[in-house]
Structure 1
Amino acid sequence: MIPVCQKTFLDALMIKKDRVKGVLSRFYKSGGNHPTEKRGGDHRSARYEAKNLSVQWFIEKFKGQESHYCRSKTQRLYLPSGLNIRKMWRMYNNERENDLKVKQGFFRKIFNSNYNIGFKSPRTDVCSTCISLEEIIKNENNPVKKLEAMTQKRIHRLKYKAFYSILQKEDKSMKTITFDCQKNQALPKVPDQSAYYSRQFSFYHFAIVEGSSKAKLDKKNVHSYYWNETIHSKGGNEIISAVYHFLQNTTFDEEIKTLRVVCDGCSGQNKNTGMITMLGKWLYSEAPRHVKKVELIFPVVGHSFIPPDRVFAKIEKTLKKKEVVTCPSEYVNVLKEHGTVIDLSCIPVLNWKKSYETIIKPTTAWHFPFMKSKRFFLTRTKTENIFVQGEVAYKSEINLKKVVTKKNKKITMISPEIVEPNSITPKKSKVVDVTKLLQKHFGTDWRILPDLEFYKNIEERLQGLDLNRFGDVPETLGDDEDHLCEHGFEDVFNCI
Structure 2
Amino acid sequence: MQTVQPRYRYIRLGGVRKPRDNNHAFYFIQNGEKIRVCKAFFKNTLDINDRPIRTVIEKQNNVAGVLLATDKRGKHGQQKKVEEDIKKGIYDFIEAIPKIASHYCRANTSKLYIDGGKTIADIHKDYEDHCKMNDKPFGNYAMFYKISFFMPKKDLCEICHVYETANETEKQELKEDFEKHQEEKRLSRTEKENDKSKTDPDVLIAVYDLQAVVQLPKGNVSLFYYKCKLNVLNFTIHDIINKTTDCYVWDESNGNRGVNELGSCVLNYLKEACEAGKTEIVFYSDNCLYLYAVTTLNINKITHKYLIKGHTQNEGDAVHSLIERQVKRQERSGPLYTPESFGPPFKVHELTHENFYDVKGIYSTLGCVNLAAMKINDVKILEVRKESPNTVFFKKSYNDQEFQNIDIIKRKRVNRELQLKPAFTAKPGISEKKKSDLMELVSKKHIPSFYKPFFENL
Per-residue deviation, 1:230: 0.8
Instruction: Compare the two structures and name the one with the higher strand fraction.
Output: 2
Give, in angstroms, the shift of residue 193 of structure 1: 4.1
1:359 to 335, 360, 366: 366
> Structure 1: which 4+ aligned runs deviate by more than 6 Å?
none
**One-letter amino acid of the counterpart of residue 454, structure 1:** F
Where 1:262 maps in the other structure, the secondary structure is strand
Any conservation in 2 of the 1:381–1:387 contact (CA below 8 Å)?
Answer: no
* Alpha-carbon distance in 1 for matches of 2:390, 2:370: 16
- Cα deviation for residue 223 of structure 1 reads 1.1
Change (3 A) 1:222 1:421: farther
Q: Is the 8 A contact 1:380 1:386 kept in 2?
A: no
Question: Structure 1-normalised TM-score?
Answer: 0.55
* Residue 420 of structure 1: how far off its partner (Å): 4.8
1:423 to 412, 424, 427: 427
Quote how far apart the aligned CAs of 1:178 are. Answer: 1.2
Q: Tell me how far apart the structure 1 counterparts of residues 433 and 153 of structure 2 sit (CA, whole Å).
A: 36
The residue that corresponds to 1:322 in the other structure is 330
Asked if 1:282 corresponds to 2:311, the answer is no
Q: 1:119 matched to which residue of 2?
A: none
| Aligned equivalents of 1:346, 1:456: Cα separation in 2 | 16
Deviations 1:416-466 (A, max 9, x none): 212358621211122223344x26xxx6356871134322333xxxxxxxx
* Pick aligned residue for 2:266 from 243, 251, 254: 243
Q: Note the residue ranges of structure 2 that are not aligned, 5 or more in a row.
A: 1-151
Residues 371 and 182 of structure 1: CA distance in aligned 2, closer, same or farther (over 3 Å): same
Q: 1:160 to 1:377 in 2, by over 3 A?
A: same
Q: How does 1:27-46 map to 2 (within 5 A)?
A: none
Q: Which residue of 1 aligns with 2:100?
A: none
1:186 corresponds to 2:186 = no
Matched, 1:301 2:309: yes
| 1:159 matched residue in structure 2 | 184
Could you give the per-residue CA deviations for residues 62-96 of structure 1, whole angstroms, max 9, x where no partner exists? xxxxxxxxxxxxxxxxxxxxxxxxxxxxxxxxxxx
Q: Does the aligned pair in 1 maintain the 2:354–2:422 contact within 8 Å?
A: no
Aligned position for 2:283: 261
Which residue of structure 1 aligns with residue 99 of structure 2?
A: none
Indicate the SS of the match to 1:419.
coil
Aligned equivalent of 1:340: 347
Q: Which residue of 1 aligns with 2:198?
A: 171
- Residue 455 (structure 1) aligned with residue 449 (structure 2): no
- Please give the alpha-carbon distance, in whole angstroms, between the structure 2 residues aligned to 1:414 and 1:397: 34
**What is residue 349 of structure 1 aligned with on the other side?**
356
* Identity rate, percent: 17
- CA change 1:455–1:348 in 2 (3 A) is closer
Note if 1:198 corresponds to 2:220.
no
Alignment match of 2:257 (pick from 234, 241, 248): 234
Change (3 A) 1:257 1:422: closer
1:435-450 matches, within 5 Å, as 435-436=439-440, 438=441, 444-445=444-445, 449-450=449-450
Shift of 1:352: 1.5
Is residue 151 of structure 2 the alignment partner of residue 128 of structure 1? no
For each residue in 1:156-180, what CA deviation from the matched residue of structure 2 results, as whole angstroms up to 9, or x when unmatched? 2221121112222222343212111
Judge conservation of contact 2:390–2:413 (CA < 8 Å) in 1.
no
Can you list the C-alpha shifts for 1:457-480, whole angstroms capped at 9, x where unaligned? 33xxxxxxxxxxxxxxxxxxxxxx
How far off is 1:154 after superposition? 2.6
- Cα distance in 2 for residues equivalent to 1:241 and 1:376: 20
Unaligned runs of 5+ in 1: 1-121, 459-496
After superposition, give the CA deviation of every residue in 1:304-344 in whole Å (9 maximum; x if it has no partner): 1121111111111111123321112102x1xx22x111122
**1:73-124 deviation line (CA, Å, top 9, x unaligned):** xxxxxxxxxxxxxxxxxxxxxxxxxxxxxxxxxxxxxxxxxxxxxxxxx983
Q: Structure 1: how far apart are the matches of 2:284 and 2:382?
A: 11
One-letter identity of the residue aligned with 1:171: K
Match of 2:88 in 1: none
Offset, 1:197 = 4.2
CA distance in 1, matches of 2:306, 2:448: 48
Q: Does residue 321 of structure 2 align to residue 313 of structure 1?
A: yes
1:412 matched to 2:399: no
Check 1:196–1:447 CA distance in 2 against 1; reply closer, same or farther (3 A cut). closer
- 2: distance between equivalents of 1:240 and 1:302? 23
Distance 1:249 1:449 in 2: 37
Change (3 A) 1:353 1:346: closer
Q: 3-state DSSP class of the match of 2:406?
A: coil
Return the match for 2:172 from 139, 147, 160.
147
Retained in 2: the 8 A contact 1:373–1:392? Answer: yes
Instruction: Evaluate the alpha carbon distance shift between residue 369 and residue 457 of structure 1 in structure 2; reply closer, same or farther with a 3 A threshold.
Output: closer
CA distance in 1, matches of 2:338, 2:431: 19
Question: CA offsets, 1:273-326, max 9 Å, x none?
Answer: xx1xxx2232233225xx3x2211111111111211111111111111233211
Q: Structure 1 253/204 Cα, relative in aligned 2: closer, same or farther at 3 Å? A: closer
Q: CA 1:397 to 1:434, structure 2 compared with 1: closer, same or farther past 3 Å?
A: farther
- Looking at secondary structure, tell me which structure has more helix per residue: 1
Contact 1:280/1:411 (CA < 8 Å) preserved in 2?
A: no
Give the conservation status (yes or no) of the 8 Å contact 2:274–2:297. Answer: no
Asked if structure 2 preserves the Cα contact closer than 8 Å seen for 1:387 and 1:404, the reply is yes
Q: Secondary structure at the match of 2:376?
A: coil
